[in-house]
Each structure stands twice: as structure tokens, then as C-alpha cells.
Amino acid sequence: MKAHLTELLNLSAKSLNLDLNETAVHLERPKNAQHGDFSTNLAMLLAKPLRQNPRAIAECLIAGLPVSNYLAKAEIAGAGFINFTLNANAKQAIIKQIQALGTDFGKNKNGAHQKVQVEFVSANPTGPLHVGHGRGAAVGDCLARLLDANGWDVTREFYYNDAGAQIDNLTLSVQARLNGISTDAENFPENGYRGEYIVDIANAYLAKQTVVADDVAVTASGDMSDAEAIRKFAVAYLRHEQDLDLQAFQIKFDVFSLESALYSQGKVESTVQALINSGNTYEQENALWLRTTDFGDDKDRVMRKSEGGYTYFVPDVAYHLDKWQRGFVRVINEQGADHHSTITRVRAGLQALNLGIPAAWPDYVLHQMVTVMRGSEEVKLSKRAGSYVTLRDLIEEVGCDATRYFLVARRTDSQLVFDIDLARTQNNDNPVYYIQYAHARICSVLGQWAGELKVLEAADLSLLNSTHESELMQRLSEFPEVVSNAANDLAPHSIATYLKDCASDLHSYYNETKFLVDDLPTKLARLALIAATQLVLKNGLDLLGVSAPQKM
């Protein structure tokens, strides 16, 4: 309908010799239903260039509107807004569109099959995934699904930081356990990892087990003095464990990248050399610096330390250069809010290469922390992890569907309280249950009817004229726009919000209406409406990676 109304306004302006080349038509849905279905401030935008009163321009635009099968009326409001009210045909037409498109309803081609990479989770292989990783997984996977629905060629990628001090601490922790040092002993590594999983790794290493991570199999030697062998086995063991966590969360990746590979393949060295060749580095106090202040950073950054070795942002730049060289038009990094400080320096490093990489490349979506509550108390510890609540803990407590929904249902820049008790309840207070129950209710009615859905394509939709029916059809018509905006704004929570509102409309309609009535035309019309609603609910839940059960 937005496209249709935009075309009407363009035709009206053309007939009046008004130039809209520099003025985009913007339509929005009024918050007050009495103000119609759509509103535009076009006349107010044209007032200055045309040097006319906006209400006078609005009158001309309305007078020049072509005849439309979907428009009931157009009115002027306030200083010059134009409010459009659609007729019943416009709202009923959405059912035909849903019937025709089915699972493709809500999808569009905004991305034009351009390559986009979404990097998410990217946890250090030093322990099980925690709830923060879970939020990143839910948000990142939903972003990938949204971009795919909007016509992008999506690659999902997981980057393992398998080099550096944290991996050294992991190695020392496992080695200490191999030598019988307890995690609470004074001589246990000060920055070591103390969860039960360290004991499991040590036992598996002594047993000379083989673990598979991605496509790499690592067999333990059992040699307690071989730190490099311990490191390789421990990293592979935890990568495998994280893989199992992701499988339980129904997350799949297309590519797994390793920080260590950036070094072994010479990509870090070649990136450093390219930065030196660009003329944007300098030596000071036996260290190599990058002039990141020339590219928006608050201070220059050390690349190579005076004692040797690169700082952590250097492989980050090398990794993102690799992304650019792989041809991604767009890259989106979904990470925790603690990565905020890395945004400017990574972008500065890429700019310093003088390769024409856009200044705002890559995009970042940063999520805030998650607080897990049971009853009125915060849950802080996991026996297995030792110091944090794991993603697997949540999945085992409330299930994959509830975990995914709750972790994505709020804006990423908002802190999230995960209420275990609420997520476990099976009533209308639980939003994911509420949405899934709406879907199951429709399936139950359609199952009782036991007819062919094809029959509903011939239903007389003009019989759908009650307030509940009008509101529900209005809600269904909003879905494609919600999907498009959620992808454009990188805001998957808006899908969760929409589904809750749609479920509310359905439940209200269901509670006030009989569907399997004796009058056949009325029955088919109502069934057509709820069948369309069932499809939209299922399509929306799929964007969240949440199931759409037929029975509950």
C-alpha cells in the first residue's frame, strides 16, 4: 500500500507540474487510528521550495490524486499533513497476497543478492559459551535470517581468537590440572580458568582422546610436559564443546576463521607491511605505531610493542582486510558492548591501508549484558563453568525456543533481564508461549475444518468487515514493512514485538468469533483470514529461529 500511495502522489504531483525529484515521499502509519491508515508530510516539505502554504499544496495534491480501488479518502490535517484512509478492498487484498506468496510473504529484494557477512558469537575457545554469547548468537542468527529475507547473499562466520594471552592461560590451567594442582591451590595459575571443564580437558588429554572441531581432528599425546600439544588439544576440545552448544541452540555457521591462521598464513605480517608502505606508521620508543588519529581515533595506536609481538588490534585489522578481499560489500559484527572501543581503531586501520574501504565499514551491532534471574535472585554461577551462567544452562532450563526469543526480544543496546521462571511458564504471561499458542490455535481450527487450503483462495473476503477482522488484516499488511525495517535498522527485536502484537490481535479475534459456522461463505472468509495469520506467524517465528508448533 505504501508503494501504491507513493505512486498516486507522484502522479498527482506530475499532473500539477510539481517537481518531486528532490523530495522523497515519506509515508508513516499514524499512532491514532482516527487519523487514517497512512500519513505524509509531503506538502510541508514542498512548502519552502514552492513558497506556498503547505495546506494549499496539500489541497492541490489531494485534488490531483488518480482514482484508486484501495483509497477511501484523503484528508488534510494540522499544518498540512495528508491522511489516507484505505477502503475494505485494500485491507482484504492482503489475504490474497499472503495466499499467493505463502512462505515468501514478507521477503523482498532490497539486498539485490549483494554479499554480506555477519560475524557473531566469536567466543574465545577458553570455556563453554556464556549467556552473553547466547544473546550474540540469537541476535546474530536473526540478523542473518533478516538479511537473507531481504535479498542479501549472507555468509555466517565465527572467528576464534585462538592466539594470545588467554590461550596461554588456558594451556597453563590444563597443565596445572595435569600435574595435580587444584584450582583453589595457591600455586594454581593466577589468571587461570577454574571451571570443572578444565578437569575434563585434562582427563581427556591423559586418556589420549581425539576431538573434532569443525573439520580438524586433534588427538592428545598425553605428554604433560608438551605445552604446545596441550594448547592444541585444549583449544580443539573447547571448540568442539562450543560447537555442541551452538547445535543445541540451532545455530549454523558457513565459515569458521582462526586468529592463529592469520599468523601462520602470513596475513598479519603482510597487513603490517602494507600499513608501513602506506606511510601511516612511525617508530617511537622501539615500538611501531599507526597514525590512527588521522582517521578519527582519539590517539595513535601501538602495532608492534617495544619488547616484540603485535598488539591485539593488528590481527583484527588483518582479519577485516581479509573480509574485504573476499568481496563482502557489507560486513556486520555482532559483539558484546565491551568491544565498543575497538570500532574506531579497526576502521582507522582499514582506512590507513588506502584501499578505498568505506569509512563506516564494517557495521557493528553491540549487545548489552544479560542478567539471569530465578525468583527474585540473580543466578551468577554455573558449576561447570565455575564463574558464569552458560548458554547450555539456559537451554536445559527453558528450552531452545524460549531462550532464543527472550535473548532477542529487547533492543540490543538495552540490558536484558532473563527471567527463568517466566520463560518456563506455559501461559499468556510468557510471550513466546503466547505467540506459539496463537499459531497452534489456528492449526487446531483448520484441522477441525479438515478442508483443502486451496478452497480458501475463492473465499468472499468482502464478508470480513468486523472491527477485529479489520485490525487483524491491518496487522498482517504491516509484516513486509516490519521485516524490511528490521533488516535496515539491524533491529531483530522488532520482529519479536510485531509477533506479540499479531498474536494479541488473533487471540482477541478468536475469543470473539466462531469460525466453523453453518454459513459457508462466512466460514470460508474467516478461515482464509486465520490461515493467512498462521502463515505470517510462522514466517515471523522462522526469522527468530523459533518453532511454530501445531499443537500445544
Residue 188: predicted pLDDT: 95
Sequence-distant (6+) residues with CB within 8 A of 516 are: 445, 448, 449, 523
Quickly list H helices, 362-492.
391-398, 400-408, 420-424, 431-449, 467-488
Pairing of strands 330-336, 115-119: parallel
Residue 60: predicted pLDDT: 92
Find the Cα–Cα–Cα–Cα dihedral 487, 489, 490, 491, rounded to 10°. -100
Dihedral angle sign, alpha carbons of residues 29, 35, 38, 42: negative
Residue 234: Cβ-neighbour burial (10 angstroms; 0-12, 13-18, 19+): buried
Residue 184: predicted pLDDT: 85
The pLDDT profile of the chain, 552 residues, written as one tens digit per residue, is 888 899 999 899 888 887 776 567 889 988 887 888 899 999 998 888 888 999 999 999 999 999 998 999 999 999 999 999 998 888 899 999 999 999 999 999 888 899 999 999 999 999 999 999 999 999 999 999 999 999 999 999 999 989 888 999 999 999 999 999 998 899 999 999 988 999 999 999 999 999 998 778 999 999 999 999 999 999 999 999 999 999 999 999 999 999 999 999 999 999 999 999 999 999 999 999 999 999 999 999 999 999 989 998 999 999 999 999 999 999 999 999 988 889 999 999 999 999 999 999 999 999 999 999 999 899 986 767 777 899 999 999 999 999 999 999 999 999 999 999 999 999 999 999 999 999 999 999 999 999 999 999 999 999 999 999 999 999 999 999 999 999 999 999 999 999 999 999 999 999 999 999 999 999 999 999 999 999 999 999 999 999 999 999
* 3-state SS assignment for residue 378: strand
d(C-alpha 198, C-alpha 181), whole Å: 11
**Phi, psi of 510, deg, nearest 5:** -60, -45
Residue 383: predicted pLDDT: 66
Residue 341: predicted pLDDT: 85
Residue 111: predicted pLDDT: 84
> For residue 213, what are the β-bridge partners?
216
The string of DSSP codes covering 115-145 is EEEEE-----TTSS-BHHHHHHHHHHHHHHH
Residue 18: predicted pLDDT: 77
The DSSP output letter for 368 is P
d(C-alpha 323, C-alpha 327), whole Å: 7
Same fold? 2-86, 428-544? no
Residue 23: predicted pLDDT: 65
Distance between first and last Cα of the chain: 35
Sequence-distant (6+) residues with CB within 8 A of 325 are: none
* Superfamily name and number for 2-86: Arginyl tRNA synthetase N-terminal domain (3.30.1360.70)
Residue 15: predicted pLDDT: 84
**Phi, psi of 447, deg, nearest 5:** -65, -40
Residue 387: predicted pLDDT: 73
d(C-alpha 114, C-alpha 153), whole Å: 6
d(C-alpha 80, C-alpha 43), whole Å: 6
Write down the CATH number for the domain with range 428-544.
1.10.730.10
The string of DSSP codes covering 274-330 is HHHHTT-EEEETTEEEE-GGGGT-SS-EEEE-TTSSB-THHHHHHHHHHHHHTT-SE
Sequence-distant (6+) residues with CB within 8 A of 513 are: 466, 468, 526
d(C-alpha 190, C-alpha 197), whole Å: 17
Q: Which residue ranges make up each domain of the chain? A: 2-86, 428-544
Residue 232: predicted pLDDT: 95
